[in-house]
Amino acid sequence: MNKSQLTFCALAFLAFAACSKQGFLDQTQSSDLNEEVVFSDSTYTINFLSGIYGDIGFATWPKRFGGGGLDASTDEAEGAGLGSINTFIQFATGTVNSNIITNDAWAKPYTNIRRANIMLKNLHRARFGTNIKVRVKAETRFLRAYYYFILLEHYGGVPLMGDSVYTASDAIPAKRNTFEECVRYIVAECDAAAQDLPWEHAGEDYGRINKAACYGLKSRLLLYAASPLFNGSPVTTEGALKDVVAYPNADETRWQRAEAAAAEVIESGHYSLYVNNDPEPGFGFYQLFQLRKNSEYILAKMQDSNRDLEGIWNPPTFGVSNPGAYPYLETVDAFGMRNGLPISDPNAGYDPKNPYKNRDPRLANTVTRDQSLVFHRDGLARRPVNIYIDKTNPNNVTSGQDAIYRGTPTGYYTYKMVNRDVAADWFNTYTPRCLPIIRYAEILLNYAEARNESLGIPDQKVYAAVEAIRERAGLDPFVLPTGLNKDAMREIIRNERQKELAFEGHRFFDVRRWKLAESLENKQLHGTEPVRTASGTSYNTINVRKRVFDKRMYLWPIPQSEVAKSLDLIQNPGY
């Protein structure tokens, strides 16, 4: 999508300022005159559509809640700026409540659902040809479905608006649709939109919604729907909410639907893992995130040249003053050895005295640890990050600005998608990077998980999907042991998701849909204290946070400001 398509023109913004709903139950009204202005000019109309595009990816932004996002709200990382009460602190401490949790997961989707309905209502009079109208309608229907999915993954079933555009004089429906009704609606919208879209876009249309995005969203949705949290094991089995927060009854055939949805993308042949092992094994895993266009991105948050992530995740002396979250040791330990074995395996070759030697190559491209090379702002070379405490002179213990306890509470910094040649404050160097929302690696893992659960024993297709991920990562050997049962393969797939999709917004929802958050997010989490002495560096495990999880936190609370507007809008269990 080109720059002009991503920017609201001033007139379109002013004309539709009244259309932006701060909450679903707010009674707002758009005037016929404003709609007449915007839909009588093709530029204004496309810019209005670009406004609906503008919020995709908001849920996975790493600074969504200030010093962290979904990464700091789960067992992935510790948030920064802990003195304030924000959403990730509420999730870390088990104090989530409907009065102070952010309302963005409710307000942004319903704002854009309303915008989408305005677009669909007025599209017939837009000043462009039939072919473009067909494409714009399909894009708009997908975007509407996407925002409903964001609501669903946060809250469970929500009120469906259909094509209605409500005004101040209308009674806006507030009764929540069932989980099943919401899933059916989103699937139907994805399928309908896919019929009128190509598999890929090129030129200035690159980045627009395509057929693969429709099937990719459908794949994720149906995988979630088949997972334990939603497939007959809801957070409540009583009252009016039992079929709103999940399917009330389990149905193992839902895994088959999830498998088929992922297969639609795989069998199209239009997408593939981005593989490059030059100049190092698994280099493609780093490089794909630096490319504006690659074989793997199905849906991405398009943006101008930037150094956004460098300004969030690099260490302080490398140009960062307003950081994001810091990985836990548990996240680091999830990355096994380059030989494909977990560090806990006695045959893996893991050396606790040299813990980063021969590790899964994805680790170095996901986490900055002591002595990692990071591009510095005042030179043309990458420099090691000094995270250690210096005890070479016992009478003068020093700790640099980037060190444990000063720069990072965990002994690590995030490095996912950071460009090796861009410093956070080097004024004339940027990256063309866009932020992935759906990529092919996820589709392969969706497929492998669904097929493994569906068959009850992994077959060659499950092996092939997982091994493709491991091969691209640079593991050697990348092949898995033969004869794995469903449970063993399940654990491997979950581990691969944790590594491959780290810091892309998946972990928060994965541990919930698997119903594992009550164990993984209800325990002491750790970091690493590197200590340098005359004899070398030792690595001490330290306590960082005892996280608290309550079962009500499997779903978000609906903002109390919304619940207060209607007796029909029933709050989620436990809130």
- What dihedral do alpha carbons 75, 81, 82, 88 form, nearest 10°? -40
Cα 423 from Cα 308, distance rounded (Å): 10
pLDDT digits (tens, 9 = 90+) for 410-469: 999 999 999 999 988 877 789 999 999 999 999 999 999 999 999 999 999 999 999 999
The two three-digit tokens of residue 218, written as one number: 């459908």
Cα 464 from Cα 450, distance rounded (Å): 14
Cα 104 from Cα 507, distance rounded (Å): 19
Instruction: Give a yes or no: residue 200 inside a domain.
Output: yes
Cα 258 from Cα 550, distance rounded (Å): 29
pLDDT over 70 (residue 370): yes
Instruction: Give a yes or no: residue 65 inside a domain.
Output: yes
Cα 571 from Cα 575, distance rounded (Å): 7
Which alpha helices (H) appear in 197-248, and where do they start and end? 211-226
pLDDT in the model for residue 425: 80
Looking at the chain, the whole-number percentage of residues with pLDDT higher than 70 is: 93
Cα 148 from Cα 110, distance rounded (Å): 8
DSSP-derived pairing of the beta strands 413-414 and 389-390: unpaired
Instruction: Report which secondary-structure segment, H or E, holds 110.
Output: helix 104-122
The two three-digit tokens of residue 266, written as one number: 């795989």
Instruction: Give a yes or no: residue 501 inside a domain.
Output: no
CATH code of the domain covering residue 125: 1.25.40.390
Task: Read off the amino acid at residue 457.
Answer: I
| 281-304 per-residue burial string, b: 16 or more CB within 10 A, e: under 16 | bbbbbbbbbbbeebbbbbbbbbbe
User: Rounded to 5 degrees, what angle do the CA atoms 269, 274, 276 make?
Assistant: 135
End-to-end Cα distance, the chain: 41
Cα 486 from Cα 233, distance rounded (Å): 20
pLDDT digits (tens, 9 = 90+) for 158-192: 999 999 998 767 888 899 999 999 999 999 999 99
Crossing angle of helices 130-155 and 104-122, rounded to 10°: 160
Instruction: Give a yes or no: residue 538 inside a domain.
Output: no
What's the residue count for the chain? 575
Instruction: Give a yes or no: residue 534 inside a domain.
Output: no
Cα 289 from Cα 502, distance rounded (Å): 13
Instruction: Give a yes or no: residue 69 inside a domain.
Output: yes
Domain membership of residue 13 as a residue range: 3-248+555-563
Model confidence, pTM: 0.93
pLDDT over 60 (residue 96): yes
Instruction: Give a yes or no: residue 379 inside a domain.
Output: no
Helices H, strands E: what count in the chain? 20, 12
Q: How many domains does the chain contain in total?
A: 1
The two three-digit tokens of residue 327, written as one number: 């990985």
Cα 243 from Cα 156, distance rounded (Å): 9
3 state SS of 247: strand
pLDDT digits (tens, 9 = 90+) for 177-231: 999 999 999 999 999 999 999 999 988 899 999 999 999 999 999 999 999 999 9
pLDDT over 80 (residue 307): yes
Instruction: Give a yes or no: residue 173 inside a domain.
Output: yes
Report CA Rg, the chain.
24
pLDDT digits (tens, 9 = 90+) for 455-512: 999 999 999 999 999 999 999 999 999 999 999 999 999 999 999 999 999 999 999 9
Average pLDDT over residues 131-149: 97
Cα 116 from Cα 133, distance rounded (Å): 14
Instruction: Give residues with Cβ within 8 angstroms of 171, minimum separation 6.
Output: none
What confidence tier does 30 reach under pLDDT thresholds 50, 70, 90? very low
